[in-house]
Structure 1
């Protein structure tokens, strides 16, 4: 038992979550900025395919908050790889501090190329991603591919910072690459009849028809910013942005807030893996 508790504490310390897990932390630069995360495995028989990053890291004279949700499909190796390598690739980009959007776009592309090259080791399938980098508690850079989502709450109002990359929306692009979008009754639109997102890491068999180009947005944190939520589609399938915001607006502890959202998703019959990160300001 002691060994398991030690391992759990170590995972909390480095901010890496998987399986049924939770953790929290806070900024050294601003005591008012805190984060928490909680993950719950879905009802499927395969291993947990959601992975989380949630940590503050000092880089030179700056503090970075690194937050992410990686939601695998037909794979837990690929989101696990992303958890340990994507931020490292982003921060190694020489223009990260001056042009973070360009650096993130390039790092996503490099990471996807590496995953495809390692397909023998990492296996088939792929992963969505939503990443948020908080620079010195003031500047927030959010990027995503797929349907894991980030929202910001300002003055009680939810604002979506990411884009759900749906096959039906990108149908022309997919067909332009030689693919097709199925639309069978009772099912969601899928790339080549298989994948329910138009952008993803990995998925080597579908890659000619998929994109790994992230949507990137930059937001400044001001006195009206209350919190941000990052979550996999296990939450968003059953809750709207505003419903999620309203559900935790009075929950001051971010780990409790993240756990409350997973519990609410379960109460609404979400059967998918559910992972949530909450970052609170002020």
Structure 2
């Protein structure tokens, strides 16, 4: 199958951005996508990576879209960019059992990342992946707080699950960890990590989960767009606000840039990565 995820890696200096676009055949004409990645104001290198492309697979056309939001370095999200989709499509017959293929690939990819330590460092990454099958069926999976939001008749539908320490406090404590929430800060696992599920993070792995939540949806004539983005957007823009901003911009690359600009205008400090997929 080869490297279906590509090797494009954006190493961005402060204030710089990267963007692009593409399209697939779709069920009635083309499905278009556009993306943008903008380095945040934090004093560390860009740690967001993405995948956005269409590939042939067993007589079908798959749209592969993902945002990988790294922390404590870019090695883990770069590894995910290169390997996660390949692993999903190698896990038996994806089209026969997408749920199993995705779950197993997430698990085995995390095990591979941990086994490569210290080559990949002590960092980790969240992930949200979206697989579009023949522009008719959508499968979304995620660990962490990057998010996928679908628009149907202009209504925002969240397709992913935000994995926050307070929400999964019981699981963390059952694994011997704890959740702290210092005044003025967000809840963190063992006072360190602001998400309860992630790839990597070897030092915290005994207290973290890396199994994804998986959802699916039919793509109907009422479905307008899908937005896949890192929490640099979602910290300051609601699901419905994002849909309202993007839905009337026909060019999905311009829509992604508009969303990133809005997040910056609202003083988002984090890296901002966004993919917009337009179905009609």
Q: Do these two structures clear the TM 0.5 threshold for a shared fold by scoring above it?
A: yes
Tell me the alpha carbon deviations over residues 57-81 of structure 1, each in whole angstroms, 9 at most, x when there is no partner.
Answer: 0123110000000000112011011
Aligned partner of 1:165 in structure 2 is 163
Aligned partner of 2:212 in structure 1 is 214
2 CA distance for matches of 1:215 and 1:24? 28
1:90-169 equivalent positions in 2, closer than 5 A:
90-169=88-167
1 CA distance for matches of 2:122 and 2:257? 31
Which 10-residue stretch deviates more, 74-83 or 21-30? 21-30
Aligned partner of 2:200 in structure 1 is 202
Does the Cα contact within 8 Å between 2:7 and 2:82 map onto a contact in 1? no
Tell me the alpha carbon deviations over residues 136-185 of structure 1, each in whole angstroms, 9 at most, x when there is no partner.
Answer: 11010000000000000001100000000000010011000000000111
Secondary structure in 2 matching 1:121: coil
Aligned partner of 2:23 in structure 1 is 26
In structure 1, list runs of 5 or more residues that go unmatched: 1-12
* Among candidates 233, 242, 253, match of residue 244 of structure 1: 242
2 CA distance for matches of 1:280 and 1:139? 14
Does the Cα contact within 8 Å between 1:15 and 1:23 map onto a contact in 2? no
1 CA distance for matches of 2:135 and 2:238? 27
1 CA distance for matches of 2:6 and 2:253? 15
In structure 2, list runs of 5 or more residues that go unmatched: none
Distance 1:23 1:262, change over 3 A: same
How far has the Cα of 1:95 moved from its partner? 3.3
Aligned partner of 1:76 in structure 2 is 74
Does the Cα contact within 8 Å between 2:75 and 2:123 map onto a contact in 1? no
Aligned partner of 1:9 in structure 2 is none
Tell me the alpha carbon deviations over residues 184-226 of structure 1, each in whole angstroms, 9 at most, x when there is no partner.
Answer: 1111110000000000000000000000010000101000000
1 CA distance for matches of 2:98 and 2:271? 30
* Among candidates 87, 90, 105, match of residue 89 of structure 1: 87
1 CA distance for matches of 2:139 and 2:72? 28
Aligned partner of 1:3 in structure 2 is none
How far has the Cα of 1:271 moved from its partner? 1.0
CA RMSD across the alignment: 1.3
Q: Is residue 2:61 matched to residue 1:43?
A: no
Secondary structure in 2 matching 1:198: coil
Aligned partner of 1:61 in structure 2 is 59
Q: Is residue 2:190 matched to residue 1:182?
A: no
Tell me the alpha carbon deviations over residues 245-280 of structure 1, each in whole angstroms, 9 at most, x when there is no partner.
Answer: 111121000000000000000000001100000000
Q: Is residue 2:224 matched to residue 1:226?
A: yes
